[in-house]
A and B are shown apart, each in its own frame.
Chain A
Amino acid sequence: MSHDTSYTKQKFKLIGSRVNRPDGIDKVTGRARYGADASAPGQLVGKVLRSPHAHALIKKIDTTKAEKLPGVKAVITSADMPDLTGGNRSMLDILENCMARGRALYDGHAVAAVAAVDEQTARQALKLIKVTYKRLPHVTDVDKAMQPGAPVIHDWVFTSGVDPKPEKASNIVQRNQFGHGDVEAGFAEADVIVEKTFKTEQTHQGYIEPHACLATVGPDGHGDLWVTTQGHFHFRQVCAALIGMDVAKLKVTSSEIGGGFGGKTHVWMEPVALVLARKANRPVKLVMSREEVFKATGPTSSTSVDVKIGAKKNGTITAAAAELRYQGGAFPGIWGMLGAMTSFACYDLKNVQSVGYDVLCNRPKVAAYRAPSAPMAAFGIESTMDLVAEEIGMDPVKFRIKNAAKEGTQASYGPVYGPIGIGPTLKAAQNHPHMKAKLRKNQGRGMACGFWFNFGGQTCTDLNIGVDGTVSLAVGTVDVGGSRASLGLIAAEELGIEYEQVKVHISDTASLGHNDTTEGSRGTFSSGMAAIFAARDAKDELCQRAAKMWDIPVSAVAWKEGKAIAKGKRHNNLAPLTLQEIAAKSPNTGGPIAGHNEVVADGAGVSFASHICDVEVDPETGATKVIRYTVVQDAGKAIHPDYVEGQFQGGAAQGIGWALNEEYIYGDDGLLQNAGFLDYRIPVCSDLPFIDTEILEIPNPNHPYGIRGVGETSIVPPLAAIGNAVSMRLACE
């Protein structure tokens, strides 16, 4: 990056403080406006008809009766959503997922939609749509889907990454192999080899706010979309392309978001709302039910993973290998590839190989879920690590420390690491009081490590200074985890003013240049970088204005602690000018004062965590309760520690739910049996202990404040940490 790296010597005044969150009052008083909280004059209610079959040919859709029902303003099927993708297969997949095209590919796949004057009429209209299906064989299990003779979901999928390329279509989308060295030679050197197979079930992100949007398309072809999303710029691009609209003619505004965790990085129903609105020539609000969220928006993969690790008796790993099979739902994805990339990333391995398979099944299209694919891989690898440590009689933490990756290690997925934090998190975990606390009867303790890549991406930010000296920071990364507080702190720090003087806004797509989606733990990293540069741009302008007010050269002006100061003996008599004083005179010194920045924020810096978990297992029933939990993670620099701790705790809580409670249950009929929070149980407060956190700060040299993303890694270790704790308890028995 081109910026300075003086971050190591910075003395911050505000960064690292625990200021009040700017969205707190709105959220607790109900004033915050979420996806379903918008309305427009003449608005209609949209509803979607969904497939009751796991896999079926759609022979005919008769919408005649629905269209004639009084109050119905539009009925659409795939015929109203022609393929405008120009041969772009991944875009066509999105379109087909929004509305089935000739075949229903999973239980809950959309087949038609209506817009009507009220909910009751819309529901009645759905009942009047007659769909003639011919049921087809289905497959919902990842291992069964890979077997010869399994029902093939798409006849155009030929496994890539194998040589020669197959001539027969299958459900195996791609094979990706990572690693280096000679694993066979490495296993031959090992004193101990442990091989295990693991399966994990499909889980949903479980965000409390369902998907919701309000779409308007006027007769002039201009559209507005209010939507709960993690990436309104991405939604604009995808929706505009799918419905044949110029990007500039569609304005997308992101609502307040009630959780996303990756599930709101994907377009699910928004093009349907826009097409309904265009056909009806009225605004259409579309809000998913919880059942629809479970059935038709992306959960994470179910997986099947084989792990083999060999080690010397002195604790050195000589070879490690894994084969990871990830179910991606009915459309191709990269989830198996990500699992293979992340699997051994925590360790410094001479001989390593991981092979990932992406596999189609008759389930909803898989979406990103917080460090997507990494928790399942870590479950297999970290569980096996404990077994190897036990075989060689070594403490599992010491075993991990001995093999931990460090600066200069070639990662199992290719690159060589810069400064990283896996070793320090392990040592902090080893020395944590939790690790030394005594266990009681029926209790066990486990630990595990986790990795996530983090990334940055395209970012654009405006910083506008009002004549009263207050500051509006306009960013385009949706605030899913508290970034407005962090970005306010950053702008205030850089300008040398109070946090309360800065108001951070999430701008719509018409008001800023493109911003990538808030994913990959990039929000505070990338918008923080852009905010710093925009503030520095504004400071340059403030110095220019001060020079004008003083009538001295700008080279004689510097910015210090929120004030312009005149440098040199000649200007000793000039009292510093505050930001407010300069702003007040701005109409007469050149007009508005603003800073701007657009940047590709690369160099995000990888992230590691080590977790410790105590469980208590009921010897009669096997019921397991997490009684103590500690997260140790590297944050680079914790801008707002409350939010960093919240991210650590949130990820751990989701991982605990995944390990103990949550799973998609499909029947032999291929239908989802537990599409609701009563039968799909996410952990609530009473299920969880207080989750302790320890923030390590190993600065990222590629960010002016040393920031690393913190949002995702915390979900990676819990599955294995809990599994290892239960195994320890059982071993004691």
Chain B
Amino acid sequence: MLKVGFTGALRSSVNGHAQVDAQASTIRELLSGLVQRYPDLAEHVEQGIAVALDGEIYRDDWSKPIPDGSTVFLLPRIQGG
């Protein structure tokens, strides 16, 4: 079981939850499951999203395995200069 945290505008797309429980073994599975539960999240996933697993931020590699018990945060995709 994973605890998934949400910040920023993502929180309002999951009915205002700061954290939800989820079951997933990869980032792809996680996002797919969350979008099924919270359809408003789909727009954010489409526009680009970053996933923090135990403090490390992953932007693109959705095949990344998520170890059970990981701390997971979904973040808006960021831009740099």
Contact = CB atoms under 8 A, between A and B. Distances in A.
Interface string A354-376: 00100000000000111110000
B80 interface: yes
A418 to B, nearest CB: 5
Given A416-B55, A458-B60, A519 B12 contact: no
A413 B78 CA distance: 12
Nearest to A356: B8
A418 B79 CA distance: 21
B60 A368 contact: no
B52 interface: yes
B57 A415 contact: yes
Contacts of B60: 457-458, 600, 602
A177 interface: yes
A407 B76 CA distance: 23
A520 B8 contact: no
Contacts of A415: 52, 55-57, 71, 73, 75
Interface residues of B, number: 28
Consensus secondary structure, chain A interface: loop
A240 B19 CA distance: 40
Interface residues of A, number: 52
Contact of B80 (A160, A176, A712): A712
Interface stretch (A133-141, A248-256, A334-342, A385-393): A334-342
B7 A178 contact: yes
Interface string A498-529: 00000000000000000000011110000000
B68 interface: no
Of residues B8, B9, B50, B56, which shows the largest number of chain A Cβ atoms within 10 Å of its Cβ? B8
A178 B8 contact: yes
Given A456-B59, A457-B60, A458-B60, A519 B9 contact: no
A667 B52 CA distance: 44
Contacts of B54: 416, 418
Contact of A604 (B5, B9, B57): B57
Given A174-B9, A178-B8, A602-B58, A455 B76 contact: no
A261 interface: yes
Interface string B33-70: 00000000000000100101011111111001000000
Nearest to A409: B55
Contact of A176 (B16, B64, B76): B76
A163 B16 contact: yes
B17 to A, nearest CB: 12
A283 interface: no
A600 B61 contact: yes
Contacts of A334: 76, 78-79
A265 B79 CA distance: 10
A520 B16 contact: no
Contacts of B61: 600, 602
A603 interface: yes
B58 A414 contact: no
B6 to A, nearest CB: 8
A298 to B, nearest CB: 10
B11 interface: yes
A338 B59 contact: no
A367 to B, nearest CB: 8
B73 A160 contact: no
A597 interface: no
B12 A372 contact: no
A206 interface: no
A455 B8 contact: no
Contact of A602 (B59, B73, B75): B59
A370 B7 contact: no
B59 to A, nearest CB: 6
Contacts of B5: 414
A158 B81 CA distance: 28
A610 B53 CA distance: 27
Contact of B71 (A416, A458, A702): A416
B22 to A, nearest CB: 16
Of residues B12, B18, B56, which shows the largest number of chain A Cβ atoms within 10 Å of its Cβ? B56
B9 A176 contact: yes
Given A176-B8, A337-B8, A413-B75, A603 B80 contact: no
Interface in A433-471: 452-458
Contact of B81 (A337, A356, A519): A519
A370 B79 CA distance: 10
A372 B55 contact: no
Contact of B76 (A337, A452, A600): A337
Contact of A455 (B11, B64, B73, B78): B78
B9 A160 contact: yes
Interface in A526-579: none
A341 to B, nearest CB: 7
B57 A455 contact: yes
A712 B81 contact: yes
Nearest to A452: B80
Of residues B55, B56, B57, B58, which shows the largest number of chain A Cβ atoms within 10 Å of its Cβ? B55
B80 A455 contact: yes
Of residues A161, A522, A711, which shows the largest number of chain B Cβ atoms within 10 Å of its Cβ? A161
Q: A-B pairs with the 7 shortest C-beta distances?
A: A262-B81, A520-B80, A415-B52, A176-B8, A414-B73, A368-B81, A519-B80
12 contacts: A90-B47, A337-B8, A356-B8, A413-B8, A414-B7, A415-B56, A416-B52, A454-B80, A519-B80, A520-B79, A602-B60, A603-B57
Given A519-B80, A600-B61, 9 more contacts: A161-B12, A261-B81, A338-B79, A368-B80, A371-B80, A372-B81, A413-B8, A415-B56, A454-B80
Interface of B: 5, 7-9, 11-12, 16, 18, 47, 50, 52, 54-61, 64, 71, 73, 75-76, 78-81
